[in-house]
A and B are shown apart, each in its own frame.
Chain A
């Protein structure tokens, strides 16, 4: 459940401190923000910065739709407070393309038909980018295991796996199962 809180009223009634200052770089853009401590990074991105590419699926760390990168590492934006990330650099799906040039992962998702409704796709893309940075996946089976934090209720998993492994290891041999 999401509660909408009038922070000024809270400050008056309960004596809470004023808004907290936090400086974040989001997709290369610096932002100096004043926020309540209970604002998650996900809500900050979507509601204060209008970066609605990052999706709120479960809001409980169970689906991965909110996956973004903090200093290059993938995390669930729904389960972290924005105020805890002073000085850090956030990358969302909006920051993946280079101008009009899609990121290779984005192009691979299109080429492999790795989405149906598309709601999980921003999280899948950021998660795949984080996975590549981590350097722990050496086989398609590793990729499947290390992408398990991102659910796709349309069931595009074979195509998602194909897209990610194509970017990492090159296209599968002709006729091979994904």
Chain B
């Protein structure tokens, strides 16, 4: 990789000061994605600020009844934490569906949010890519696009976000705590990642030099009715083609009090459609209701050719994940009618 300058810091203030607001300076924590991209010459920071020893690795209950996941807590430690396992099994399932044990032992929670796309063209510096070199073009359109987006894409970029963790965080309505030179703020998870639009080089809404300090989970973890379903080319250690974080809450009568569906592998960010979720509230949990929700979620999906299969696959995965979350038997009869 290219030479760079390196500084380890002992406080958040030092980290912010060392990083400044230069896009050529990067924080490094686990480094599992950043170093890979530096070896590939996709990312070329001139300076790394090592934040891995900052005291941001705790996982602790919040006064509001939620849980704060430190930005530097490792993905493995988060997934196996007793409070995450008991109260947020959706999150534990998603984390353990991602990467490998070795990577989860290194990768930080904050870094997981900042993973770059696995688009082949983004990784290949010999070809154009609007995300890597703004304005150069998008060869994924009309190219090999089996892994690409079917929702929320733009003419400039059809990349997907690769995280599993983030899909569960989106379903749970997590909040991202950040600090920058202007102070601290929190960002609703839905507003953290962005769609490509005409600025695909921007994956998220962090300001230059801002540091993620933690991820706050609300009190409701849907522990009784939550399923993370990940579909991929091999059963382990592979990125999602389609994934579904499904969570719901039912009253004694079997009627839906709350329902959440977030999709991975289909868009530039974890995909949710709150209006469609709201439309299910008050109805009895059933395969038919779930199939209507799946149709609503995928209504605007557009295939790029190789990835056309993702649209019916996602519809079926949504229904299956919700059936499992609700404890309903898989209704195979419902599938062919709705998912021609």
CB distance from A168 to the nearest CB of B (A): 15
Query: Which of A47-55, A93-101, A128-136 is the contact stretch?
Result: A128-136
- B12 contact set on A, CB distance < 8 A: none
Q: How far is the CA of A149 from the CA of B101 in the complex (A)?
A: 6
Which one of B1, B35, B99 contacts A80 once the chains associate, using CB atoms below 8 Å? B35
Q: How far is the CB of B19 from chain A (nearest CB, A)?
A: 16
Report the interface size for chain A: residues with CB under 8 A from the other chain. Answer: 38
Measured CA separation A60–B33 after assembly (Å): 9
- Cα A73 to Cα B102 in complex, Å, equals 8
Whether a CB of chain A sits under 8 angstroms from the CB of B63 is no
Instruction: For the complex formed, measure the closest distance between the CB of A63 and the CB atoms of chain B, giving whole angstroms.
Output: 10
**What is the total number of residues of chain B having a CB less than 8 Å from a CB of chain A?**
30
Query: Once bound together, how far apart are the Cα atoms of A76 and B36, in whole Å?
Result: 11
CA distance A145 to B99 in the complex (A): 11
Which of A1, A38, A81, A83 sits near B3, CB closer than 8 Å?
A: A38
CA distance A177 to B101 in the complex (A): 26
Contact of A130 among B1, B39, B101 (CB under 8 A): B101
Residues of B within 8 A of A40 (CB): 35
A145 to B1, CA, bound (A): 32
Q: Determine the distance from Cα of A151 to Cα of B86 in the docked complex, in whole angstroms.
A: 32
Chain B residues within CB distance 8 Å of chain A:
1-6, 8, 28, 30-32, 35-36, 39-41, 48, 50, 52, 76, 80, 99-103, 105-106, 236-237
Q: Hey, which bits of chain A sit against chain B, CB under 8 A?
A: 1, 3, 5, 7, 10, 14, 16-17, 20, 36-38, 40, 59-61, 64, 67, 73-76, 79-81, 83-84, 86, 127, 130-131, 134, 136, 145-146, 148-150
